[in-house]
Each structure stands twice: as structure tokens, then as C-alpha cells.
Amino acid sequence: MADNISKLRLYNDVWNAEGMTDENSLANAYLTQPDTISPIITHLAGREDKRFPLSFLTEGLGNYYVTNDVEYDWPVMGRINKAVQCVGVKGSGLGHTVFTLIFQEKWFVREYLIAPGDQSFQAKIVADPIQTEAGWEYRCVLSTTESTDTVPSTVVGLKFIQLFAPVTPYGGSRGNESNWVAPSKMRNQVTLLRKSYAYEGNGLPNRTVNIQLSHSGGTTNYWMDFEIWQHNLRWKEEVEMSYWYSRYNRDSQGAVHLKDLSSNKQVTIGAGVFEQIPNVESYSQLTSKKLKNVVRHMLYGASDAQKMNLVLFTGIGGLEEFDNAMKDDIAGRSYMKLDGSQFVTGSGANLQLGGFFTTYKHIDGHTITVRHLPLFDNGPFALASELHPVTGLPLESYRMLFLDMSVYDGQQNVRMVRKSGYDNKMMWAVAGSTIPPGFSGDGLRSSDIDGASVHFMQSTGIHIARATNCLHLYCGLS
């Protein structure tokens, strides 16, 4: 997308990477020149203050907890039953005779019925398993009324599951055993983020420029008000980026190799959303069938959720893909028709065309709510992203993150994490000859510099308790 018509631009935006603002840098940025026709600055890249929906849905709604250490653990457990693959068979079971099934591991229990995944037969285990070089051998008898039934040779390679343990109702039955599952544990860590800005000169906070600068509070011609707004906005973006893109940097031995060069202390970085989600798939064009299948895959078996709440975070490209998938699905169903009122409003010469799908009700009862994430459209990774071959949008804009925002056992599945002592957003000033706007003070100053500096610091982390219920879809076109 063109930034602006180049021949109409008097001068380019000036990028100041010096980390310090002074009177000279303002002059170099052409902000102290004479009158302009329109005094209110135009944001060619769009307003940048609505980029942080994940922060709002978690931290903003109080869904966070404080940890006492840099690292934090949580227990996880899958299903309490599992399927085990058959690796061999001895005998046929003809005439209700005993035959042997061999499995890779010891999981099934004497007296229980077991069955292959294709449900072709059921068999009762009649003895405790024996471990051999081939695996665990189970002696079984077919549960059938027909003496001619046999175990099919294709049983090898199939996965078996354990059903229940029927015993004689006439007395004399013996007790069997029960197997159980212990939870495993996962670990993540918090990241401590910092940002600073500084300026020189005692008069800079009161310095005005020749244009009106727009910010979240309105407009101003005080340069420092505008610069502070930029710093605060970029700080929020950096925090939001850490929630999504950060990568865990502690190795399997527990060592962190990234060090602060000035102190030689470890710099810990926690896993963000992308790294925590194990389900990753690509797509070229989203369809309702793809959507139905991936949602079922995500939440199949998660019946203990009090609220099945899936939020799809995506950019403009993803929003369009979602909307097209819904409309294409309707167009392909001859029994389902929409009248014009859904997409055409107004009357006479004042008609308006437009209507977009933002919610999808899954046949399993789950609901997907689409949430626009501008970070995927105009964040740093979007600026460096390859472009979609058809629309020209960044491929990052087509990225889709399905997060299970459901409630389990009274707790939100996705929560922010902060470290104790850094659990509040910290912001402070180091005053020199001047006190930065927004801070109070008196004659006592912390620095002898003719100027001042402001510092941000915050511990960040994101905890997805059931990351297996989430999905990352990315556009594979190039």
C-alpha cells in the first residue's frame, strides 16, 4: 500500500533513534517552521491506540495472578483412558478358545473387555499380562455367541481401548485392579520489560510546535505531550507483542544463556501465545468445513468447560477470510436463503451494501467470536511480512489464533502472570534540571543533567492452562 502520493509530500517523516529529544532535534524534524494550512497532523498509518485486545480480555478484566518467582508451574493431565496399539496376535479364538494379543505397553487389566478401534469384536482378558521380548501378552477370549467367530488377522496395528469388567453374578468372583493417571507438570517464566526516554533542556516541556498534534486526549501543540503519548503507545505495543511473540529461553538443563552484559545476570524470556500452542496448521483459503473441523479438533473432550468460549484473533485479511467462508457456505446450501435486508440497508438512492459475519456457532455447541487484532495488520512483524499474492495485504494479517477463553474450575483458561514486586506497572522519572510533565516534585532532584528521563518497567507472562484447546492457523500462500 502506498504511504502517500510522494509528489504531494513536502518532506518525509523524521525517525529519531537517538533516544534523546532536544531543541535541535525538533528543528531538524521541521516542527518549528512557519505556518501551515492545516494545523492538525494527519496520521498516514492510521490511529494506533486500539491494538491490544488480548491485554484487555485478560489483564484489563482482572484475569491475572501474581507469582513469587520468575518461573511458575502448573499441573496438566490428559484423558484418564487411552488407546494402545496391538503389535501381535497368537491363535484365532475359534470355538471360544483362548488366544493372545500382544501390546506395546501394560495398560489393560484382567477381567476387562477390550476392543479395537474399528469395533469389529470384543474380548475379555482372562489372565494377568506377561512381559516378553515381543511386548505385553494378554490371554483373551472372544465375547460372542457364535463359535465360528475368530480374531481377524488385520488386528495387528489397530489401537485397542479398555471398556469395563463383567463378572459372574452367581458369586465367587475375584477383585481385579485399577489403573490411574498422574498429572504432569508444565513450566513457564515471566519476562521483565523496560523502556526509557529522555530529553535535554529545561525549556523543552513548554516548547510548542507549529502544528496541532493529535493524541488520545485530543490535540496539542506542546511537543512533549505528543512525544509522551508516542512513548506510552509504543510501550503498550511492546508489552502486547511480548504476550504473542516471545520465546522461552531456558534450556532443558534449566540454564539461561542470554545475559545482561553490564551485570552478567540472566535475562529470562517466557513463552508467548505462539510458542505455547501445539496445534499449528496452514490454509490457503478458509472454508466453513475447515473451520468446523479445526474447532472440533480443539475442543473435543473438553466437556468440563463451564463456558465454551473461543476467540479468534486475526487481522483484516483473516476477518475477510472468515466472512467469505460463512457467505460461501450459505451460497452452497440450496435450502438456506437470505433476503436482502441482511446485507443491504437504506432506501431509494441511499442504499448501503455491507454485512459481515463475526460469530460462528459450531454444531458441537461451541461459539467462535472474531476479534480484530491490529497488531497483525500494522505491527512490526506485519511491516516485514511477505504480501498476500491476491490482496497485497501482509500475510501476517491472515494469521488466525483460536484461543480457548473458557472457564475451567472457576479459572479463566488464559490469564496474565506477573512477578511479585513487579506486579504493578511501574513508571518513574529521574528529574534533572526539569521535572517531566505528569510528575510532581520539588527542589530535590536525582540527577545533575540539564534535562530528565522517564522509565517504564513491567513483568509480563501469559499462562494458557489448556493450550491443546487452542489452534494457530497461518496462510501458506506466497
Q: What is the CATH number of the domain that holds 136?
A: 2.40.10
345 found inside a domain: no
132 CB-side CA count, 13 A: 12
325 found inside a domain: yes
Cell of 332: 452452497
21 and 92 part of one domain: no
Burial of 58 by CB count in 10 Å (0-12 exposed, 13-18 middle, 19+ buried)? buried
**Which pLDDT score, from 0 to 100, does residue 57 have?**
64
**Which pLDDT score, from 0 to 100, does residue 77 have?**
56
The H-assigned helical ranges of 308-439 are 316-331, 375-378, 380-383
The answer to whether residues 477 and 259 touch, using CB atoms and an 8 Å cutoff, is: no
**Which pLDDT score, from 0 to 100, does residue 3 have?**
46
**Which pLDDT score, from 0 to 100, does residue 26 have?**
43
**Which pLDDT score, from 0 to 100, does residue 420 have?**
83
88 and 206 part of one domain: no
- Structural element, H or E, at residue 153: none
331 found inside a domain: yes
At residue 7 the predicted structure's pLDDT band, cuts being 50, 70 and 90, is: very low
> What confidence tens digit (pLDDT) does each residue in 10-22 have?
344 545 555 545 4
Total tally of structural domains belonging to the chain: 2
259 and 113 part of one domain: no
337-350: average pLDDT = 54
Residue 148: is its pLDDT beyond 90? yes
343 found inside a domain: no
Beginning with the edge strand found earlier in the chain, give each strand of the sheet holding 20-21 in spatial order: 20-21, 191-200, 451-460, 426-431
204 conformational bin, left if phi > 0, alpha if psi -120 to 50, beta if neither: alpha
433 and 401 part of one domain: yes
At residue 76 the predicted structure's pLDDT band, cuts being 50, 70 and 90, is: low
The larger pLDDT score, comparing residue 58 to residue 45, is at 58
Maximum average pLDDT range among 82-96, 319-333, 427-441: 82-96
Domain ranges, residue 147: 84-162
25 found inside a domain: yes
Task: Record the pTM.
Answer: 0.68
